[in-house]
Amino acid sequence: MKQEIGKKRIIIALDGPAASGKSTTARRVAERLGYTYIDTGAMYRSVTLKALQQGVLDLLRHSPENVSGLLHPLAIHFEGDHVFLDGRDVTAEIRENRVSREVSFISSLKPVRDRLRQMQQELGRQHGVVMDGRDIGTVVFPDAELKIFLVADARERAKRRHAELLATSRDGIGLPSLDALEEEIRSRDRDDAEREHAPLKKHADAHEIDTTNLTIDRQVDMVCNLALEREQVDG
């Protein structure tokens, strides 16, 4: 059920590390408030999938200037919960672990971040959006009226990622162990925090929420309450 809130519709920027609950929380907040949800992580995953499909990852590691071949042409759009890359539905493929392992590298490339930032700003031009990612509150929309930063214990995030992979696997055979997923998550945290361009960090104005022991419903309630307060202040 959608929640009635103030007259002014705002931009909600929701950042945090991998598997901290950003996408699920952002999607449900948007549904409740009647806002538009924009999954920026899916956009980076789509470019990563394209790099894997074109077999250019090794080339990009040695010659990142060749990334322009991935970005031109590049068309990403959303239809409900489905993600389309260059006209093809890639909703399931972008959640594969091979994409998860490489997305941090692709996200570190400045031309990729510049191109997707432009696309994200175009998508969010009209207020009334919930956008999640790793640099939404610091780079894409530093003036967003409400900034949220989600965090969670690495082991808990590994469990969430494992459950996500199980849900999309036919038989569960060949899936990485919890220990392996936890190490991947810790490694990605380091990469995201230390990358040169738009590193993962909490904006000074962001509200931090630790989701380790929270249900999704509780997380959504907390963000919606903050949105209500913000709309009333700005309305």
Query: What gap in Å lies between CA 146 and CA 208, rounded to an integer?
Result: 11
Mapped onto helix, strand or coil, the DSSP state of residue 235 is coil
Backbone angles phi, psi at 76, to 5 degrees: -125, 130
Question: Which pLDDT tens digit goes with each residue over 56-78?
Answer: 999 999 999 999 989 989 999 98
pLDDT digits (tens, 9 = 90+) for 81-111: 899 999 999 999 999 989 999 998 999 999 9
Q: Give me the phi and psi of 132, to 5 degrees please.
A: -115, 150
Which residues, including other chains, have CB under 8 Å from residue 36's CB and lie 6 or more apart?
A: 30, 123, 126, 128, 129, 130
Q: Is the pLDDT of residue 16 over 60?
A: yes
Give DSSP secondary structure letters for 126-178: SSSEEEEESSIIIII-TT-SEEEEEE--HHHHHHHHHHHHHHH-SS-TTPPPH
Sheet bearing 82-85, strands edge to edge: 76-79, 82-85, 88-89
Q: Say yes or no to pLDDT of 33 above 90.
A: yes
Domains of the chain: 11-211 (3.40.50.300)
What is d(CA 77, CA 80) in angstroms, rounded to the nearest whole number? Answer: 10
Residue 220's pLDDT is what?
A: 97
Q: Which residue has the higher pLDDT, 148 or 125?
A: 148
Q: What is the mean pLDDT of the chain?
A: 91
Q: How far are the Cα atoms of 14, 59, 100, 175 from residue 151, in angstroms, in the given order? A: 11, 34, 18, 25
- Strand 146-151 and strand 129-133: the pairing is unpaired
* Per-residue confidence (pLDDT) for residue 81, from 0 to 100: 83
Structure tokens at 146: 């409400």
Per-residue pLDDT tens over the stretch 132-183: 998 999 999 999 999 999 999 999 999 999 998 888 777 778 889 999 999 9
Before 111, cis peptide (omega within 30)? no
DSSP structural state of residue 1: -
